[in-house]
Structure 1
Amino acid sequence: MLSFNTLLLRSRCLARGLPVKSFLTFFPIRSTSRFYSDDSFNLRPGFEIALRAASLQLVLSRWGMEMATKMEQAKGSDPENDERRAKAVNAITETALNGGLVDSLTEKEMNMLKKDQGTWEYEDFQYGKYWESLGILSWLLGRRNEVPQYFSSFDRVKLFQSTGILPGDPNTIDSFINSFMSTQGVFSIKNSILKREIDLAEIWYWRSRMQVLIDLKDQLAKSGSNTTPDSSSSSNLDSQNDDVVQQQLENKRIPHSLRRSIKDSQAILEAATKRAIELGLLDQKIDSDFAVIVETDVESPQSSQNSSNGNSNSRVEIPIPYEKLEKKDHDALMDIAEARLMAFAWATGKLDAWDPKKMANIGSINPLNVLWSPE
């Protein structure tokens, strides 16, 4: 049976009219190893995962307070008048400096916690996406029963409560960590279950990165429509001005070598979707793109009879192709997939340190490095 990535490479060659038997020699895949084997996954020790989870929860607790502070500042209020919050911020900072997590927090995390209340910058607030990383680590530790679908977030209240940690109380952190120090506290996950969750994280992260190529293709088409008479032609992308193409590639941080692959993005996506359905990773009727379940208001005959009560609509769930979502939704789904995949990569040792910048060098976890980078 062909692998997921191999099938996508074959579809790419078919889209170019290349013989199927030659696609592997024409586009050799870089030698990369998955971060799990067929028999074992080599997770980090439970107490080490617990230390990282506790560190994340400490920073995310401060993140929540900074979000509240920022909202008050936007309303013209003085957040320094909230003595309760100020004490909580000081307690978290004290825990970071003198608690048992000083060696587990990264330099960036420690610098964020040391900042005065209300002085966080835009980059600091982006740390909020790591609630999803905390969710994965909590699941690996047995504190959460399941991983939500990749168009849903972990319940932050339940996630916060699952560890029993009070960020300003070092004793609760010690209690949480110590529960994973003994052999009795070890929680194990079946390899088949862990493999499936890792595969799901990979394909949804892959889909979020694929959207970058699709968006770029649309931008190139629009740019070309201003300079060529037939903007609907399939050859329009090939006739784009080199300066325009280069600028677009740089803006999206996509390697210049990917330009030839942009026009094949739809064929690759369709092949990937069908393959994911075949493997049981996607359960949907749409076979041309990943389906995202969204809630919407619909009017039913029964609800129409009750319209006099001011409630004529009911909420239903419908599947929407990923590509049809708005950009803000694409960004949100990318954050979910990236944060969860990073947690898996770190927990399995593929990432040697908690460093978002190293995600681009993971290898097979980042399909852009495998699918569209011929040697």
Structure 2
Amino acid sequence: MSRALTDAERRDWLRLARTENVGPVTFAQLVGRFGSAGKALAALPDLARRGGRMGGLKVPTEAEVDKELADGAALGARLLASCEPAFPQALAALDPPPPLIWARGRIEILNGSCVAVVGARVASAAGQRFARGLAAELGQGGQVIVSGLARGIDGAAHEGALPTGTVAVLGGGVDDIYPAEHAGLYARIVEAGCVVSESEPGRTATARDFPRRNRIISGLSRAVVVVEAELRSGSLITARLAAEQGREVLAVPGSPLDPRARGTNDLIRQGAALCEGAEDVLRAIEGLRGFREPDRDLFAGAGPLDPDDALRERVAALLSPTPVSRDEIARATGAPAPLVFAALVELSLADRCELLPGGMVSTA
């Protein structure tokens, strides 16, 4: 179901999304179980206690939420919830989607046909020229270019796509301009494109924010093109996420003598499509259907789900650092899947497990 939230519901969604140990998976499970973020917030203390948590969860106060909303409004940014019509359809189709994103600029382009162009921060002049030209050609072909505003390939891709539309996804808040020398580019993107972030305004990005940012970059896009990347590059994480999300992955080949080509050449070796120009990208996404609506109704409410202590501890004993599917845990216990999923949420709130995208779970 797609509908706009009331002001009160938006505050509840924001409080729940910013609560300690509540990531996108836990958020979706809680709202689906209780039927609203407000009811989920009321149940949190008991759920965490049942999961084995000794202290209380850190839940934002009403004043803290009001401040975030005011800070976003002062920037001219808009808070979009994953259940709302204006939320990007591509992101809404993820399992699970980010519950909320801040967007600043031309929000309507987020529902255009998007292609991500990413790559090395310390990029070669040739790589930057290629990324800039590729983004310009794809833009002329009707694509919106998505990237991360970083130095090197990202910046070049944004520059090339400015006349036609580009989206910058940030790890910090929508006002966290990094690197500082991209302040002018950032201002032009706000004017002609859109800046997106899952973080609250005013937040400075830390290392743990970039995997979430990369998931949004790939999630917004029909295809991800990696121009230059070393073997341990963050761009390869974006490519892996894209493959897991069912997006097309393309890589630009390079000289085996250049370390910045090792990552892209390895992607091609693993099955990524070779990209020598815009035609390769357009051919890869030709005929792709739109993103379907998620099969779940977040507002349905699953009714009372109360796993007992014995089931909860059986579930905990089956977990390990190696991610395994929640369905596999349910099969191993022999208990109904909804009860097992409810137990996993309680364990995650108690820091005893981590709920991962794609229906996977591991120890925290």
Would the TM-score normalized by the shorter structure come out above 0.5? Answer: no
Greater strand share, structure number: 2
Give the TM-score taking structure 1 as reference length: 0.25
Give the TM-score taking structure 2 as reference length: 0.25
Larger RCO (CA within 8 A; separation ≥ 6): 1
